[in-house]
């Protein structure tokens, strides 16, 4: 197998690249696109890429190199040296390289990088001679030792930062740039000593010289250790967490790119930056990004220095030509990749170099605008436009915003880095955000800047606020990717993370941990206290893409809703009907008392009164629902939960009784409570989810389905008389045998006939069932003879197929299952292949039993894009999901069809 691929030119200026953009699985995203850029003639510093497969082989063998791999790398190193006419580690004219990770899927900032590799005590002299700039050379060397120690050996970066601070104090220097070449040379000695003192000889026997660990001088040793570190970073905790959250497979591995260094820190005609070909926040067609003059790449992303906007670059003296060339490259890249691209570049003494390009991460609003604009520009087709918007991103657009009518004082302003608004308690560390989230508290994570180590906290927080860094800083990029609101670079904020407080310059406000703040990532505003939030309107772009999506999708999309407002909302979002109306949700509030009085009383009269009251209430409920969904199907599910869910909890009652007794309450009152408790206890089941619920309720208490069907039919009859077109359908839950369905179908039909008779209106109400038990799925051919439609309740079907309690597992063992990879993802969120098999069996058998059967799904999976792909393949007629997921489902269904 070939393990190494080169990219860039040879010594004659001829392109000798071996890879291409199509090879992401082998070369990683960065390596594949470096090759592609070289192939289309862009200035790429030469280098080579070690394949992702090599990383996995190395890792799977317990960090042992596959046979021949190191020889191949050595050969490519020599080849690179020949192409460049320089040698790594050379004492007169050294070649320096960067060693960077690059996985097949973009994982920004998650893995490791080493820069300036090849410097040692000899080659430093060569670098000084070549550049005539000792200060630059020593600064490069000390950066290399620092980065190598931190990334490769895992030493604490503070060890080095503290040495720099101490040096500055000794010299009375205000900033790093005030340190001279001699100072930096002295720092290099100190850094090497720190390295020796803190690196374990046992872990790195190869670095031991004369009984002491030494900073490696042999460039091949430096290179091998750096590559091993990048391989190892594939499995570091933050990369693992990122993959889990983004459903990226763990067995892809990362490639390693070894590339000639170019320097953006060689004076005022050098610069470095990151840019997007269009605005990643709102999609505007403009060059977007930041650059720093006289700096190295990491300085821009780390947010350590404040950057300037890319549009100014070509107006800076000494950088105008490179700045113009860069803009030409933007256009070329977009036309070539037919996408909005994200770019890293460096200008070394006036010469532009491209270090990376990839499809740019963007907000949902930007994704929509870019897709539509590019289709209109003729760059992509409508199908491609529909496919290049990530469905799960859409709910960003449904994020809350500050209420326009809310009054508030602005506490601070920053950059509008990622849209949406958040309200929460201030926390100053990622760990505190995670802890608060575990307590169910909403937080805003406030940091000077974020680093990849903050990822878990960024996920846990509602919003992110930083006092430093630009729109391409770590916080901004990650927040946009997650769809989390983010304000960054709010410079008035002076954060003391240790004391867990921040002051705000120009105010006397001191923010302490736990204080409530609000931030609006759409405008960059930060407010002390809670601002009222509202849901935004759908934008025109979203409508356009969804209309295009509707042209391609074959799956229908309905909504789960149980009140007229939600029904109306889902209709506005494009739902083609209600796939699940959970009627138990209509029994809350004061209705609860009525159903309690039905459950707890044996006296016939009281029960009949309760049923009559429920009937009246339900008729009104259904009237509202069917009216809101006039002309569209509304599947009403008969009562499903075990009855004890409507009753007080025995534990609360127990406590109450104990308290009454302790306070000497009236004996009769206590006895009454005890009787109630005994009655409630009689409804307690060991496994209520497997107990008296679903269709079993209707069989044990036939009065309940009669009441509900009568209410449904009556509401429909009334609307018909008003000239409307109500289309209710009746759904019987949790059926396991055809006999249950046949019995209840008969009850429903008889009841409908009575209403038709009484109201004098023709009604044709379909009657169907949920398939949410394995027995129902495997006998679906029989069940279908009694059903007009099936709706797969994949929540219960997942619960009963796995035997996992859906109400408990997510907090208990599923997290461990995910960590230990016993499951690839949570089966209650994305349909499991085993459960999907039952769905497919149910569909196929069902259609055998009744060729006219309509089949849909109404579990949570109906709104999950990956599951929607599976349902499309199985051939369902529609999916049904919560109103806010309807736009997501429409888009995912189109992508499944394309």
450 has binding-site annotation: no
Judged by CB under 6 A, does residue 382 bind ligand PEP?
Answer: no
DSSP 236: S
779 has binding-site annotation: no
Residue 324 to residue 319: CA distance in whole angstroms: 9
Q: Taking contact as CB under 6 A, which single stretch among the options 346-354, 456-464, 790-798, 838-846 is the one that binds ligand PEP?
A: 790-798
Query: Hey, which residues between 796 and 825 contact ligand PEP (CB under 6 A)?
Result: 796
Binding mask 102-141 for ligand PEP (x = CB under 6 A): ----------------------------------------
Work out which of 171, 192, 351, 582 binds ligand PEP, going by CB under 6 A: 582
Q: Which is nearer to ligand PEP, 474 or 885 (CB)?
A: 885
Work out which of 236, 451, 523, 795 binds ligand PEP, going by CB under 6 A: 795
637 has binding-site annotation: yes
Question: Is position 55 annotated as part of the catalytic site?
Answer: no
Q: Taking contact as CB under 6 A, which single stretch among the options 305-313, 528-536, 551-559, 792-800 is the one that binds ligand PEP?
A: 792-800
Q: Which is nearer to ligand PEP, 273 or 705 (CB)?
A: 705
Residues 770, 791: contact at Cβ < 8 Å? Answer: yes
Token pair 């599947």 is found at: 635
794 has binding-site annotation: yes
Kindly give the pairing relationship between strand 443-447 and strand 463-466. Answer: parallel
Q: Taking contact as CB under 6 A, which single stretch among the options 81-89, 408-416, 788-796, 824-832 is the one that binds ligand PEP?
A: 788-796
Strands of 4-7's sheet, edge to edge? 4-7, 47-50, 255-260, 97-102, 113-117
Work out which of 858, 879, 893, 894 binds ligand PEP, going by CB under 6 A: 858
Q: Which is nearer to Mg ion, 440 or 803 (CB)?
A: 803
Judged by CB under 6 A, does residue 557 bind ligand PEP?
Answer: no
Q: Taking contact as CB under 5 A, which single stretch among the options 115-123, 220-228, 245-253, 794-802 is the one that binds Mg ion?
A: 794-802
How many residues interact with Mg ion (rule CB under 5 A)? Answer: 3
Judged by CB under 5 A, does residue 860 bind Mg ion?
Answer: no
Say which entry of ligand PEP, Mg ion, none residue 461 contacts (CB below 5 to 8 A, set by partner kind).
none
Residues 783, 849: contact at Cβ < 8 Å? Answer: yes
**What distance lies between CA 573 and its chain's CA centroid?**
22
Residues 730, 740: contact at Cβ < 8 Å? Answer: no
Query: Hey, which residues between 761 and 780 contact Mg ion (CB under 5 A)?
Result: 772
Q: Which is nearer to ligand PEP, 272 or 736 (CB)?
A: 736
846 has binding-site annotation: no
Say which entry of Mg ion, ligand PEP, none residue 419 contacts (CB below 5 to 8 A, set by partner kind).
none
Say which entry of Mg ion, ligand PEP, none residue 859 contacts (CB below 5 to 8 A, set by partner kind).
ligand PEP
772 has binding-site annotation: yes
Work out which of 859, 863, 865, 887 binds ligand PEP, going by CB under 6 A: 859
Question: Is position 881 annotated as part of the catalytic site?
Answer: no
Q: How far is the CB of 700 from ligand PEP (least distance, A)?
A: 18
Residues 755, 793: contact at Cβ < 8 Å? Answer: no
Among residues 474, 644, 861, 869, the one annotated as catalytic is 474
Kindly give the pairing relationship between strand 288-293 and strand 271-276. Answer: antiparallel
Residues 345, 275: contact at Cβ < 8 Å? Answer: yes
Judged by CB under 6 A, does residue 290 bind ligand PEP?
Answer: no
Q: How far is the CB of 796 from Mg ion (least distance, A)?
A: 4
Q: Where are the alpha helices (DSSP H) in 682-793?
A: 695-700, 703-721, 738-759, 774-778, 780-784
Q: Taking contact as CB under 6 A, which single stretch among the options 469-477, 723-731, 791-799, 832-840 is the one that binds ligand PEP?
A: 791-799
Judged by CB under 6 A, does residue 271 bind ligand PEP?
Answer: no
Judged by CB under 5 A, does residue 796 bind Mg ion?
Answer: yes
CB proximity list for 769: less than 8 A, separation 6 or greater: 695, 731, 732, 733, 735, 741, 776, 783, 786, 787, 789, 790, 791
Residues 567, 561: contact at Cβ < 8 Å? Answer: yes
Judged by CB under 5 A, does residue 641 bind Mg ion?
Answer: no
Three-state DSSP at 527 gives strand
Q: Retrieve residue 643's tokens.
A: 């009855």
Pick from 734, 733, 763: nearest CA to 749: 763
Ramachandran quadrant class, 52 (left: phi over 0; alpha: psi -120 to 50; beta: rest): alpha
Residue 54 to residue 718: CA distance in whole angstroms: 71
Q: How far is the CB of 582 from ligand PEP (least distance, A)?
A: 5
Q: Which is nearer to Mg ion, 788 or 796 (CB)?
A: 796
Q: Taking contact as CB under 6 A, which single stretch among the options 213-221, 619-627, 695-703, 794-802 is the one that binds ligand PEP?
A: 794-802
Judged by CB under 6 A, does residue 772 bind ligand PEP?
Answer: yes
How many CB atoms neighbour CB 157 within 10 A?
A: 12
Judged by CB under 5 A, does residue 856 bind Mg ion?
Answer: no
Alpha carbon separation from 846 to 635, 779, 842 (Å, rounded): 18, 8, 6
Residues in the chain: 898
Q: How far is the CB of 386 from Mg ion (least distance, A)?
A: 32
Judged by CB under 6 A, does residue 580 bind ligand PEP?
Answer: yes
Q: Taking contact as CB under 5 A, which single stretch among the options 17-25, 517-525, 788-796, 879-887 is the one that binds Mg ion?
A: 788-796
Q: How far is the CB of 518 from Mg ion (least distance, A)?
A: 38
Say which entry of Mg ion, ligand PEP, none residue 501 contacts (CB below 5 to 8 A, set by partner kind).
none
Q: Which is nearer to ligand PEP, 65 or 825 (CB)?
A: 825
Say which entry of Mg ion, ligand PEP, none residue 305 contacts (CB below 5 to 8 A, set by partner kind).
none
Pick from 360, 117, 58, 100: nearest CA to 255: 100
Residue 835 to residue 823: CA distance in whole angstroms: 13
Residue 560 to residue 552: CA distance in whole angstroms: 23
Judged by CB under 5 A, does residue 793 bind Mg ion?
Answer: yes
Rounded (10°) angle between helices 52-60 and 219-233: 80
Alpha carbon separation from 453 to 11, 237, 284, 702, 742 (Å, rounded): 41, 9, 32, 58, 58
Q: Which is nearer to ligand PEP, 39 or 795 (CB)?
A: 795
Q: How far is the CB of 861 from ligand PEP (least distance, A)?
A: 8
Among residues 388, 486, 488, 858, the one annotated as catalytic is 858
Query: Hey, which residues between 635 and 664 contact ligand PEP (CB under 6 A)?
Result: 640
Work out which of 257, 277, 794, 895 binds ligand PEP, going by CB under 6 A: 794
Q: Retrieve residue 677's tokens.
A: 């408790």
Long-range contacts, 432-439 (Cβ 8 Å, 24+): 432/457, 432/500, 432/513, 433/457, 433/458, 433/460, 433/461, 434/460, 436/460, 437/461
Pick from 260, 268, 153, 265: nearest CA to 214: 153
Q: Retrieve residue 513's tokens.
A: 């941990």
581 forms beta bridges with: 636
507 has binding-site annotation: no
Binding residues are 582, 637, 772, 793-796
Question: Which residues of the shown chain bind Mg ion in the complex (CB under 5 A)?
Answer: 772, 793, 796
Binding residues for Mg(2+) are 772, 796
Question: Which residues of the shown chain bind ligand PEP in the complex (CB under 6 A)?
Answer: 580, 582, 640, 772, 793-796, 858-859
Which residues does the annotation mark as catalytic? 474, 858
């Amino acid at each position: 197998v070939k393990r190494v691929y080169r990219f860039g030119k040879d010594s004659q200026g001829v392109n000798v690249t071996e890879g291409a953009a199509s090879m992401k699985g082998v070369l990683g995203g960065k390596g594949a696109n470096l090759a592609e850029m070289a192939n289309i003639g862009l200035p790429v510093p030469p280098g080579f890429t070690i394949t992702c497969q090599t990383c996995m082989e190395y890792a799977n063998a317990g960090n042992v190199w596959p046979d021949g791999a190191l020889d191949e790398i050595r050969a490519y190193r020599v080849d690179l040296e020949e192409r460049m006419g320089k040698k790594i580690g050379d004492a007169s004219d050294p070649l320096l390289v960067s060693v960077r990770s690059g996985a097949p899927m973009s994982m920004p900032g998650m893995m490791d990088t080493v820069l300036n590799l090849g410097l040692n005590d000899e080659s430093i002299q060569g670098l000084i001679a070549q550049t005539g700039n000792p200060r630059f050379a020593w600064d490069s060397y000390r950066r290399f030792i620092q980065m190598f120690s931190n990334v490769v050996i895992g030493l604490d970066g503070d060890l080095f930062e503290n040495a720099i601070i101490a040096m500055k104090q000794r010299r009375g220097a205000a900033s790093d740039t005030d340190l001279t070449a001699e100072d930096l040379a002295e720092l290099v000695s100190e850094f090497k000593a720190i390295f020796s003192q803190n690196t374990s000889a046992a872990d790195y026997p190869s670095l031991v010289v004369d009984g002491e660990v030494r900073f490696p001088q042999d460039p091949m040793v430096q290179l091998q250790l750096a590559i091993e570190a990048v391989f190892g970073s594939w499995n570091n905790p933050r990369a693992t967490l990122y993959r889990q959250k983004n459903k990226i497979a763990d067995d892809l591995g990362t490639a390693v790119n070894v590339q000639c260094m170019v320097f953006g820190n060689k004076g005022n005609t050098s610069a470095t930056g990151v840019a997007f070909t269009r605005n990643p926040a709102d999609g505007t067609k403009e060059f977007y990004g930041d650059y720093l003059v006289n700096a190295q790449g990491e300085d821009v992303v780390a947010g350590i220095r404040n950057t300037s906007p890319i549009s100014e670059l070509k107006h800076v003296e000494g950088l105008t030509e490179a700045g113009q060339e860069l803009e030409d490259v933007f256009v070329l890249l977009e036309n070539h990749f037919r996408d909005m691209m994200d770019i890293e570049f460096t200008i070394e003494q006036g010469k532009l170099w491209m270090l990376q390009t990839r499809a740019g991460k963007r907000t949902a609003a930007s994704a929509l605008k870019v897709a539509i604009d590019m289709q209109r520009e003729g760059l992509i087709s409508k199908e491609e436009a529909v496919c290049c918007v990530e469905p799960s991103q859409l709910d960003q657009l449904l994020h809350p915003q500050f209420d326009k009518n809310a009054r508030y004082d602005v506490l601070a302003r920053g950059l509008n880095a990622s849209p949406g608004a958040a309200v929460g308690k201030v926390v100053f560390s990622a760990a505190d955000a995670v802890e608060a989230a575990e307590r169910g508290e909403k937080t805003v994570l406030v940091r000077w800047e974020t680093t990849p180590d903050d990822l878990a906290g960024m996920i846990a927080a509602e919003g992110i606020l930083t006092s430093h860094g630009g729109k391409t800083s770590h916080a901004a990029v990650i927040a946009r990717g997650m769809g989390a609101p983010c304000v960054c670079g709010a410079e008035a904020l002076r954060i003391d993370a240790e004391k867990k407080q921040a002051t705000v310059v120009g105010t006397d406000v001191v923010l302490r941990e736990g204080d409530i703040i609000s931030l609006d990532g759409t405008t960059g505003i930060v407010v002390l206290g809670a601002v009222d939030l509202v849901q935004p309107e759908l934008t025109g772009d979203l409508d356009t893409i969804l209309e295009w999506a509707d042209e391609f999708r074959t799956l229908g999309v309905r909504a789960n809703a149980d009140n007229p407002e939600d029904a109306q909302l889902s209709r506005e979002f494009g739902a083609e009907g209600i796939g699940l109306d959970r009627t138990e949700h209509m029994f809350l509030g004061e209705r609860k008392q009525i159903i309690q009085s039905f459950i707890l009383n044996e006296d016939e009269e009281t029960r009949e009164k309760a049923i009559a009251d429920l009937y009246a209430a339900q008729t009104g409920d259904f009237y509202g629902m069917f009216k809101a969904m006039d002309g569209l199907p509304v599947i009403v599910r008969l009562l499903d939960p075990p009855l004890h869910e409507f009753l007080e909890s025995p534990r609360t009652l127990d406590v109450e009784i104990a308290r009454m007794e302790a306070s000497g309450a009236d004996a009769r009152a206590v006895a009454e409570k005890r009787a109630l408790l005994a009655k409630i206890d009689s409804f307690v089941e060991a496994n209520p989810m497997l107990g008296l619920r679903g269709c079993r309720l209707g069989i044990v208490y036939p009065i309940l389905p009669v009441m509900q069907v009568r209410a449904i039919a009556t509401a429909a009859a009334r609307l018909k008389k008003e000239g409307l077109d109500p289309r209710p359908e009746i759904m019987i839950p949790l059926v396991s045998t055809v006999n249950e369905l046949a019995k209840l179908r008969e009850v429903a039909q008889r009841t409908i006939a009575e209403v038709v008779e009484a109201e004098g209106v023709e009604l044709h109400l379909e009657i169907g069932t949920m398939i949410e038990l394995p027995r129902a799925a495997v006998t679906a051919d029989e069940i279908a003879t009694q059903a007009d439609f099936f709706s797969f309740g994949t929540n219960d079907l997942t619960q009963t197929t796995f035997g996992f309690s859906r109400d408990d597992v997510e907090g208990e063992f599923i997290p461990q299952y995910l960590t230990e990879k016993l499951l690839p993802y949570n089966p209650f969120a994305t349909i499991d292949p085993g459960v999907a098999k039952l769905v497919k069996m149910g569909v196929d058998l069902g259609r055998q039993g009744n060729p006219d059967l309509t089949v849909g799904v109404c579990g949570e999976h109906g709104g999950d894009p990956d599951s929607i792909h599976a349902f499309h393949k199985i051939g369902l007629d529609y999916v049904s999901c919560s109103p806010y997921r309807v736009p997501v489902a429409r888009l995912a269904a189109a992508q499944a069809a394309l």
